[in-house]
Structure 1
């Protein structure tokens, strides 16, 4: 088995940052323990940056911006192709890092976390090759130009996936970047920095500084030489970043929290859509901002839904991430594990019907941050488990009496990131989708589309990632009159 910690330690990269084309010693001396959530053992220590480290990385990105932004699309596409190829070549090493740092079941890391992350790089490259950076409008030219130096702040739940979703389009647009990955899952980010270096990324174009949000994140967001901040994280973190960025009037793109609905219409095929809905809600242990954790179902079919949902959850195998049969590993960190336990107990106290699961670890597991896949039914919209983002394997089933009521329940949230609709009558399915206030809606469990823009309404954020729209976030618009005179 490939050991990512040993690899990074022998390379000397655990306690360094990647700045200006080389691995640099940090200015500060603070360290952070990386914990394997399956065992709760400390497996590594990383360096934690400070304002001086952000200054070095940001100035390196500023120096590199002009030459990089003036490269041709073909040159930038060539770099992205090399990075894409190296991610796939080192897929097993990265998968083992994800298993170690966040407890991802190894088969899930191999089948989803790594290949989907690689897709963001491919899409950024492909969109770059056909993007109209100069377009005529009469005698005026509409130019799309790189916005500048971009600070990228990524979360712990989809570590590499969120990095490539930002770095790929930013570099494609001609921007330079400073990345702050989550300190809770830093190993895959360090491996990605190695890939950027080995792919021949010019010095200063890509920089990485590990650290905390209040120190490194705030320093990046407030830095006058940063032109844009893109953050994926909690709504609270997004607000703090926007506040820090406001005095310098920089662009802020936010992909934040969610409490996504899954409307099951009266004519839906329950045998198909309920297992798919449960699996979607608990994908990645429910540690996904767009997880459809509110299943909204016809009251007349509630008993059928409960039985199918319980049967599906009972088939999950929670355990050792290295186990071949394991479908779900541990929760990624202690704070999140405790949050999930608190919310399960809250659901019980609120009077929701516990269909399966509950507080504590699954039977037969005595150590590690393992949670029981939990389903509540007879949930009301005023209950905390229906309103608050739990970010764990907890599904709330809410009954409705009319389709109009289902839509009202779906929209009765401060969030608006994702949504799902299931039904047989496609005219009705499309109509319902059009009435949901969310940035991305899935109809009848379609295949993932890396070109479909992703982002939120309301407190789920602003801006879009993925596809062409994801690259446009990193571009400014300039009109040049008389260009074609």
Structure 2
């Protein structure tokens, strides 16, 4: 049993002020794999004070030196990537190959992209021609609270910590209590990189305790949160009293529009994308809208891909998918699968219950529903599991309308070989990110959504700007 009861505060591992043990559950076995402590508001106060005390010196550190610290952090991270992959695989069930390449690998990518953006970031620049002496400056917003989820832990931790460090902010991180081991390992990376004491702090806890204390803390100037839309609303309300900035990256219900002229791999690509990480991605393409002319073929492909998707032990190498995070999530997914059947969708593959040959662990059968309609629960609720809903459409206008008719707006997708239609989809689909023909977003692109998906912009230059106050200066004396 791993015991990790301490918090990282002011450059040291310290005991919680009031011990409160919490089991970290390995979702592949349903058994405890580690013990952590859940903090209290008193622990948050200590961590915030450390961050506040460290702020003047850190914000006065020249950007080039802050960048150098983050470069050292990246070096440590790369050297210990395998450790990170093993921690993620254990705590949230990602298969080890996915955990190394995608989960732990995402942290390397995000830090690298942040450094690229930071090196060309203009911290002070002229407003523009015809406005002599008018300048725009960027100053760190101050002490920030970072609250991260369990599904892509290092993806989200690095998207917040790296730009906050570069911007000159000090911070307190609360990782998910479901998957805290990777973040505690990341705190070791921070320490090994020599980042000054108090700049980065970590307090474990749950949303009601540490999360509420952070979002309402008078000395925290900004909360950056990734998680559910429900929790995002609660955080916004709690943060309002102190008028702090709130950056939210929330849920999604992505639509994937597959037109008749899509490339041959479009449907297979969409199904595999949906099942990646056991469907536990906010940007998953969970609604596949297929033009009627190719609908029968699309269903055949989707059924085949689902039936060929293996479910297995996260510690084993391979391209299989692992379990979902916990029993609560497993039960939610099972309930929505049952609801899909009850509401009249055609069960094409998978279905309720554990996969064949599995008798423990929170494993879900890769499931595909066909003949869905826009009013069905599985077409509207974020399932957060390996469940794909497919429906046919007749016209482009109909497809766009269905795609946009959701409270969410994180990522939408379109597959077509018609350049004019691609350009229309890019501007008509309502989401913070539009991915066309399987092309991933460019390195350094902002990640974030609209509507109930939140309006944060994380990554690249936009990620740095999130942690800055923009200052308008007049009468500046140019050198």
TM-score of the two chains, using structure 1 as the length reference? 0.96
The within-5 A match list for 1:288-307 is 288-307=281-300
Return the offset for 1:349. Answer: 0.5
Q: Could you tell me which of 327, 340, 351 is aligned with 2:320?
A: 327
Specify the alignment match of 2:42 in structure 1: 52
Q: Could you tell me which of 197, 205, 215 is aligned with 1:203?
A: 197
CA contact (8 A) 1:320 1:326 kept: no
Write out per-residue CA displacement over residues 98-136 of structure 1, whole angstroms, 9 at most, x where no aligned residue: 111001000111111111111111111221111000001
The answer on 1:171 being equivalent to 2:161 is: no
Distance in 1, Cα, partners of 2:34 & 2:473: 53
Runs (5+) with no aligned partner, structure 1: none
Specify the alignment match of 2:140 in structure 1: 146
CA contact (8 A) 1:340 1:392 kept: yes
Return the offset for 1:242. Answer: 0.5
The answer on 1:182 being equivalent to 2:176 is: yes
Return the offset for 1:35. Answer: 0.7
Specify the alignment match of 1:65 in structure 2: 55
Which is worse superposed, 292-301 or 45-54? 292-301
Distance in 2, Cα, partners of 1:448 & 1:373: 26
User: How many residues end up aligned between the 2 structures?
Assistant: 474
The answer on 1:129 being equivalent to 2:128 is: no
Please state whether the residue corresponding to 1:18 is helix, strand or coil. strand
CA contact (8 A) 2:290 2:390 kept: yes
Specify the alignment match of 1:114 in structure 2: 104
Specify the alignment match of 2:214 in structure 1: 220
The answer on 1:83 being equivalent to 2:76 is: no
Distance in 1, Cα, partners of 2:472 & 2:115: 25
The answer on 1:480 being equivalent to 2:470 is: no
Specify the alignment match of 1:413 in structure 2: 406
Distance in 2, Cα, partners of 1:364 & 1:440: 39
Distance in 1, Cα, partners of 2:186 & 2:409: 31
Please state whether the residue corresponding to 2:267 is helix, strand or coil. helix
CA contact (8 A) 2:367 2:387 kept: yes
Please state whether the residue corresponding to 2:470 is helix, strand or coil. strand
Return the offset for 1:463. Answer: 2.1
CA contact (8 A) 1:141 1:484 kept: no
The answer on 1:242 being equivalent to 2:231 is: no
Return the offset for 1:51. Answer: 0.4
Please state whether the residue corresponding to 2:105 is helix, strand or coil. helix
Specify the alignment match of 2:385 in structure 1: 392
Return the offset for 1:366. Answer: 1.2
TM-score of the two chains, using structure 2 as the length reference? 0.97
Distance in 2, Cα, partners of 1:472 & 1:319: 41
Runs (5+) with no aligned partner, structure 2: none
Return the offset for 1:323. Answer: 2.0
Q: Could you tell me which of 353, 356, 359 is aligned with 1:360?
A: 353
Return the offset for 1:95. Answer: 0.7
Write out per-residue CA displacement over residues 206-233 of structure 1, whole angstroms, 9 at most, x where no aligned residue: 0000001011001001001000000000
Return the offset for 1:448. Answer: 4.5
CA contact (8 A) 1:319 1:326 kept: no
Distance in 1, Cα, partners of 2:138 & 2:275: 40
Give the alignment's Cα RMSD to 1 decimal.
1.1
CA contact (8 A) 1:317 1:325 kept: no
Return the offset for 1:311. Answer: 1.1
Return the offset for 1:67. Answer: 0.8
CA contact (8 A) 2:117 2:444 kept: no
Return the offset for 1:326. Answer: 4.5
Q: Could you tell me which of 330, 338, 341 is aligned with 2:334?
A: 341
Write out per-residue CA displacement over residues 137-156 of structure 1, whole angstroms, 9 at most, x where no aligned residue: 23112111100011000001
The answer on 1:380 being equivalent to 2:370 is: no
Return the offset for 1:317. Answer: 1.3
Please state whether the residue corresponding to 2:126 is helix, strand or coil. strand
Please state whether the residue corresponding to 2:241 is helix, strand or coil. helix
CA contact (8 A) 1:19 1:204 kept: yes
